[in-house]
Chains A and B, each alone.
Chain A
Amino acid sequence: MVRFIHSADLHLGRSLKASSNMTDPFIYMASQATYHSFEKLVTVAISKKVDFFLVSGDIYDEEQRSIKGQWFFRKQALRLQKESIPLYIIHGNHDPLVYKDNLISMPENVHIFSSKVSSMFLKTEAKEEVYIYGFSYPQVAYMENPVPLYQKERNNEAYHIGMLHGQESGQLGHDPYAPFTVSSLLEKEFDYWALGHVHKREVLTDNPPVVYPGNVQGCHRKESGPKGAYLVEITKKETSLSFIETAPIAWMEIRVSINGLLTVDELIDEVGERIQALEDTRAYILSLVIDGKGKLHKLLGNSEKRKELFELLIEEYSTNDMSIEKLLIQTKSIIDKERWRNQEHLIGDIIRTNEALTADNSEVKERLATLYDHRHIRNYLEHLSDKEQQKLAEEAENILLTTLIGEEEAL
């Protein structure tokens, strides 16, 4: 049996994309989260006495600046070296070989694949023979399909493990680097495919396992849930995958409905109950989503009230292990737009105006350019997509309508 750790996308030194509602200890923890996660993984590798340790790309987040990252990686590699555990590494789009990766020299147990697909041979303590295949990105954008370059060695007794940092054709939301299909991987008849690049943990096929372990620490709201790597135990007959959670901080979305809630206190209590129910084994960055229909909708439509509520929630529930990052109000207006749309007065005008602005948003964009093209501010602002803009416009319309029409009359 061969036992190893399959990790990927360490992104050592990556910042967590949270807003600034954090305590100082939490900020420190967040800045060190990727390091801690990897360190814990190495500890597990040592305690489980693995035969080797794989990192399928993107060890560092910003290669040129990752001196601490390299230093830290070296420190962990030395820990593994003490236990005679070798490390096999491929570089990905975030840390391609073109960057300086030799600022800090790595110990001898670190094996880095070159930019050409090659194989490395290894004999475990139990005398199992293993071939590990892989390649590192020569530059940031590697758009070719690398799979044909993987050539299986002629040794059927040995285990063949492929390392690949790239985008499976079915995966979305990532840059389409080194694109490949699962079927092309299966054709290679390897025993295990250790993938990287996609941050969401996913087992694409079971036999043989083709696995994305996900990144070791979620870095924004969309990378929610537990994060870590896989402990893989593989024999010629079967493979066992155990997920090892190591991320110190988990991103989490909590949805609370205002259905049936009459007061803000009730809403705060409801949020509190949901927070209390979370496991206390890790720290959390929470996004609170308030949805549903009800009496509180109008109140939450008021930006002042919304702000007040957010501050209250932070004051009530923020700790050194818990940060409330966002409050999203998605309560539904109970205004029957159809009823109002054709009326010859203000409300109808508003609804129609919004529709006109959505249909042609150039005027709105022009208006928003005051901020978005502001020469001091524009560099810090993320691009506002049409879809987002439309959503925000609906929010604005909602505010106008809710203010102008009493909920009572609206029914």
Chain B
Amino acid sequence: MKILKIYIYGYGKLVDQEWNLEDEMFSLFYGENESGKSTLMALLFAVFFGFPSKKENQYIPRNSNNYGGSILIRDLDQREIFIERTSGKYQKGIVHIQFPDGSTGSEHELNQLLKGLDSNTFKGIFHFGLDGLQGINELDPQHLNQYLYDASMTGASELAKLEKQLELEKNRLFKKRGVKPEINALTQELSELEKKIIKWEERLDQYECLQQSIQVKEAALLEQKEEKKRIQEQLRWLDKRITLNPIISEWHAYRQEGKDEENLGFPVDGVRRLEGLNEKIQEADVRLSVEKDRLAELTDKKEISSKELCNDKSIREMKDLEKHHMFYSNLLEDAKSLSVLKEELYCYQRAIEEEWPTIDKQTFEKAQYDPYMLEQYDDMKEKWSRLRTTEDRLIDEEKKKKQELNITEQQWQMESDSLLSDEMLERYKKLENNEDQNFQEKEKELKSEQLKWIKEECKRKEAIGKRNKKLFTTGAILTMLAAIATTINGEYILSVFFFVATIPLVFGLRKPLIDRSLLEQVAHLENEIEIIQEQERTTSINNSLTIDVSRQLNEHHENLRKVNDLGTKMLFIKKQLEDWTQNWMDLQDEWRNLERDIKEWSEAAKLPEGNDILFYGKFLNSLKIWNQKAREIADIRKKEQGILNQISKFEERVMEIAKTFSLSEKASMPSLYREILVILENQQQWKETSLREEEKLVSLNDVISELEKEKHLYVAKVDSLLYQAHVDTEEAFREKGMKAELYNINKSKEKELWVQIVTIVPDESKRVLLIEDIIHRDRDDNEEQKVLSEDVTRIDQETNQLHADLSYQINELKYLEEDGTYEEQKQKYTMIKQKLNDYAKEWVVLETGAMMIEKVKDIYEKERQPKVLKKAQDFFSRLTSEEYTYLFAPIGEKRFVVERNDGQRFEPTQLSRGTCEMLYLSIRLGLALEDSSREQFPLFLDETFVNMDKQRRINVWSLLEEISIERQIFYFSCHEHILNEINDYKAPGFLQAFN
């Protein structure tokens, strides 16, 4: 490919510029710095590979809206193709290709033209910058080989950079023997964590063992508790044994001693008992003699006193008299009081008799006073009262009826008069409404008459009331007196009767004198009269007024009806009067019958005759009291007689006794009685003394007998004691007693000790064992106690240890169950492992990438490098004026070796820097020219050789001149000496200057 023309529409500072390179193959673009060389170079790149990105210098023209440019190229097929790149939708711009046959194309066609060449490869192969050579100078020998080697490869620098980067990242992640790289570090961390987890798991594995261990320890604890309990039991046993040892030993000794003397056969407390009995026998003898003396003395005394005593009958009589004397005195008092009472009753009788002067005492005595007679009297009295009431009622009735008849007649007459005459009636009927004033007057008169009558009636009623009141008062007083008298006499039934009779009489007193209805009638009539008078006044005032005829007529009819009613009423009253006359006659008959009955009754009762019923009532009351008193007097007389009889009986007995004791019969009854009492007293004293002596005698005899019995008993006891002790004499008894006493002392001590033993060991079986243990075994208790105490201490220590272990293990168990550390660590472990695997994969990517790079390099070395190296060797030989004739890469080694014309071989590091530069240039040119697959792109050299020495540069120019025959070369420089050299050399380069 050859670039024939370059057009710049606008790119950086270059606007609308054109270069025609059609006739030249080596073009030198000379100009000062900032003159546009780089811009031109950039444009060429841009046309082929697109405008640069925003991050890079985009060369957007300031002075033009046109952006981009075009080139005209001639390809290997000698086609002249126009390629234009302008701004467009994409950052890289739009490419437009115009083929000579008129067809056009875009990116795709451009890519085909470039045969897939990318910008990096293009730069790596066809662009020779100053950096490449300078790089050699800056490199250390170690990397020089690699650098030169990479220079022989397409895209080598990017690949190398990438390879380095991958290497770095790989190293960051993993080194085979590293510690710090991520994977190594994580592995270390994981390993440590794993150890921790394993430890944890070991701990967890111990769980079951722990459980078992805890169970074992708990069982051991229980066992130790039992063991301790057992030893403590033994210790307590030992304590008891130590305590009881002296006691039981002593007890045992006494017991053994006691066994030999068990058959001694001496009575308990024998000697003392014998002494006591002997003392008692002596005492009994002394008392016996004393009592016998006293008996003799008393017998004498008794004989003397028995002579003084009289017989028992007299004394009994005197005692009886004394007993009845109080009764006698009472009888005397009673007789006296009865006499007084009798006299009082006589006085009372006499007073009653004096109330009735007309009647003698015999009448009182003869008169019969019995219930039958009283009943008859009551019947008659009742009848009398009834007749009297009837009579009063009939008299009143007669008067009332007559008066009523009279008034009714008057009313009838008045009403008849007030009737209108036939003539008037006729006239009124005509006139109607005419009133007769006279009627009012008549009515008034009639009413006044009626009022007058009623007032009279009131007066009469008042008179009757007053009389009745007097009668009731008298009756009430009498009945009340009768009631009191009967009460005093004790005749309570009668008194109740009288009281009951008083009550209606009292009520009669309270009755008003005038009937209330009469008073009301008076008030009513007075009121009517007043109304009539008022009417009269009204009538007189209105006399002049027209008479109400119709009212008069109505009144007439009303009056007529009243006249008729009054007539009927009159007839009825007359009939009633006739009935009254008959009743009156009947009453008179009954009066006569009653009088006859009273007479007959008084004769039968032997009462004074011819008196009225009220007389008899009063007399009967007096008679009743009189008779009562008479009965009382008779009773008193009877009682008085009984008392007098008893008094005389008592006095007779006194006299009899007095006679027995020869007392004076003339003496008064009280003095006699007093003397008898003195005698009785003396006899009683004697009697008592005699009795006492008798008793004493008996008791003395008893005492003596008892004492004798007692003495015999004591003697018998002494004998019994001797018998019990199997001895005959008291002396032998005493001797044997001494021995027995000693035995008893031992026995009581043994008992005392036994009580102590039983108190300390109440359980019998244990006690037996303990006694057996103490008596029969011989061992050191203190030593045993010490051993047991040590055992307890040991068990305590072991128990404490067990508790501590158990507590630790239980806590551990709980920790294993509840603690979340294990899970947390496992979680961390899983996470780190995951991260490790992620890093590993990352490393795999890097490693695979690195491997790919190596592979690609291998391919290059095997397939392409040989051709490149052949070219490079030619160039290197020419550039070094054939000093170095041979260049090769040993198989499998990533390095070059050069051979000098003397056959000596050198590593690039052994060459001078200048030679190295030549080597680099040769390799680059070899690579660029060997790339036969490409479209023989022009070479772009940018100040590439500016630092090279002149000789070498001349060699280069010579080489380039040769190359430029077939390959277009662009050289960019700002250095004048380069310009001069090229001009001097007269190279066929064409100067393209920038202004």
A-contacting residues, B97-139, CB 8 Å: 107, 111, 115-116, 118-121
Query: Which residue among A349, A356, A395 has the maximum number of chain B CB atoms within 10 Å of its CB?
Result: A349
Q: How far is the CA of A144 from the CA of B621 in the complex (A)?
A: 146
Contacts of B855 in A (CB 8 A): 349, 353, 356-357
**What residue of chain A has the Cβ atom nearest to residue B832's Cβ?**
A20
The answer to the question of B262 belonging to the interface, with a C-beta cut-off of 8 Å to chain A, is no
Distance between B972 CB and nearest chain A CB, rounded to angstroms: 23
Contacts of A346 in B (CB 8 A): 121, 153-155, 159, 856, 860
The answer to the question of B222 belonging to the interface, with a C-beta cut-off of 8 Å to chain A, is no
Contacts of B864 in A (CB 8 A): 344
Chain A 1-37 interface mask (CB, 8 Å, partner B; 1/0): 0000000000001011111111000011011100000
Cβ of B848 and Cβ of A345 under 8 Å apart?
no
Cβ of A357 and Cβ of B852 under 8 Å apart?
yes
Interface residue range, chain A: 35 or more
> Which of A68, A368, A389, A397 has a CB less than 8 Å from the CB of B819?
A68
Cβ of B120 and Cβ of A404 under 8 Å apart?
yes
Cβ of A20 and Cβ of B120 under 8 Å apart?
no
Contacts of A343 in B (CB 8 A): 115-116, 933
Contacts of A71 in B (CB 8 A): 817-818
Q: How far is the CA of A21 from the CA of B838 in the complex (A)?
A: 12
Contacts of B169 in A (CB 8 A): 303-304
A-contacting residues, B853-876, CB 8 Å: 853, 855-856, 859-860, 864
- Given A15-B823, A104-B817, A404-B158: A409 and B849 within 8 A (CB)? no
The answer to the question of B638 belonging to the interface, with a C-beta cut-off of 8 Å to chain A, is no
> Which of A31, A304, A382, A392 has a CB less than 8 Å from the CB of B848?
A392
Cβ of A17 and Cβ of B818 under 8 Å apart?
no
- Given A104-B817, A374-B176: A31 and B824 within 8 A (CB)? yes
Distance between A56 CB and nearest chain B CB, rounded to angstroms: 23
> Which of A17, A357, A381 has a CB less than 8 Å from the CB of B851?
A357
- Given A345-B121, A376-B191, A377-B187: A31 and B852 within 8 A (CB)? no
Distance between B821 CB and nearest chain A CB, rounded to angstroms: 9
Contacts of A20 in B (CB 8 A): 828, 831-832, 834-835
> Which of B91, B183, B827, B844 has a CB less than 8 Å from the CB of A384?
B844
The answer to the question of B784 belonging to the interface, with a C-beta cut-off of 8 Å to chain A, is no
Cβ of A303 and Cβ of B842 under 8 Å apart?
yes
Cβ of B816 and Cβ of A408 under 8 Å apart?
no
Contacts of B174 in A (CB 8 A): 371
> Which of A304, A353, A372, A384 has a CB less than 8 Å from the CB of B852?
A353
Cβ of B824 and Cβ of A27 under 8 Å apart?
yes
Mark the stretch among B204-212, B610-618, B791-799 that contacts chain A: B204-212
The answer to the question of B64 belonging to the interface, with a C-beta cut-off of 8 Å to chain A, is no
Q: How far is the CA of A16 from the CA of B826 in the complex (A)?
A: 9
Cβ of A15 and Cβ of B836 under 8 Å apart?
no
Q: How far is the CA of A16 from the CA of B852 in the complex (A)?
A: 36
The answer to the question of A403 belonging to the interface, with a C-beta cut-off of 8 Å to chain B, is yes
> Which of B92, B208, B848, B859 has a CB less than 8 Å from the CB of A393?
B848
Cβ of A16 and Cβ of B158 under 8 Å apart?
no
Cβ of A396 and Cβ of B846 under 8 Å apart?
yes
B-side interface residues, number (CB < 8 Å): 75
The answer to the question of B699 belonging to the interface, with a C-beta cut-off of 8 Å to chain A, is no
The answer to the question of A100 belonging to the interface, with a C-beta cut-off of 8 Å to chain B, is yes
Cβ of A17 and Cβ of B834 under 8 Å apart?
yes
Contacts of A344 in B (CB 8 A): 864, 933
The answer to the question of B201 belonging to the interface, with a C-beta cut-off of 8 Å to chain A, is yes
The answer to the question of B662 belonging to the interface, with a C-beta cut-off of 8 Å to chain A, is no
Chain B 739-774 interface mask (CB, 8 Å, partner A; 1/0): 000000000000000000000000000000000000
Cβ of A395 and Cβ of B49 under 8 Å apart?
no
Q: How far is the CA of A405 from the CA of B122 in the complex (A)?
A: 11
Chain B 36-50 interface mask (CB, 8 Å, partner A; 1/0): 000000000000011
Q: How far is the CA of A356 from the CA of B894 in the complex (A)?
A: 23
The answer to the question of A106 belonging to the interface, with a C-beta cut-off of 8 Å to chain B, is no
Cβ of B828 and Cβ of A27 under 8 Å apart?
yes
The answer to the question of B841 belonging to the interface, with a C-beta cut-off of 8 Å to chain A, is yes
Distance between B937 CB and nearest chain A CB, rounded to angstroms: 13
Chain A 336-368 interface mask (CB, 8 Å, partner B; 1/0): 000110011111111001101100000110011
Cβ of B120 and Cβ of A396 under 8 Å apart?
no
> Which of B819, B826, B833, B845 has a CB less than 8 Å from the CB of A392?
B845
Q: How far is the CA of A68 from the CA of B204 in the complex (A)?
A: 9
Distance between B457 CB and nearest chain A CB, rounded to angstroms: 109
> Which of A68, A364, A403 has a CB less than 8 Å from the CB of B158?
A403
**What residue of chain A has the Cβ atom nearest to residue B836's Cβ?**
A380
The answer to the question of B802 belonging to the interface, with a C-beta cut-off of 8 Å to chain A, is no
The answer to the question of A148 belonging to the interface, with a C-beta cut-off of 8 Å to chain B, is no
**What residue of chain B has the Cβ atom nearest to residue A102's Cβ?**
B208
- Given A68-B819, A380-B833: A345 and B840 within 8 A (CB)? no
Contacts of B843 in A (CB 8 A): 371
Contacts of A384 in B (CB 8 A): 840-841, 844
Contacts of A30 in B (CB 8 A): 827
Distance between A105 CB and nearest chain B CB, rounded to angstroms: 10
**15 A-B pairs whose Cβ atoms sit less than 8 Å apart in the complex:** A13-B823, A19-B838, A28-B820, A68-B822, A71-B818, A103-B207, A348-B116, A349-B859, A353-B856, A363-B851, A368-B848, A381-B837, A393-B848, A404-B155, A411-B92
Known: A71-B818, A339-B116. 17 other contacts (CB 8 A): A19-B835, A31-B824, A31-B826, A64-B205, A68-B816, A345-B155, A346-B159, A354-B852, A357-B852, A367-B851, A377-B183, A393-B845, A393-B848, A399-B845, A405-B120, A408-B53, A411-B107
Q: Name A's B-contacting residues (CB within 8 A).
A: 13, 15-22, 27-28, 30-32, 64-65, 67-68, 71, 100, 103-104, 303-304, 326, 339-340, 343-350, 353-354, 356-357, 363-364, 367-368, 370-372, 374, 376-377, 380-382, 384, 388-389, 392-393, 395-397, 399-400, 403-406, 408-411
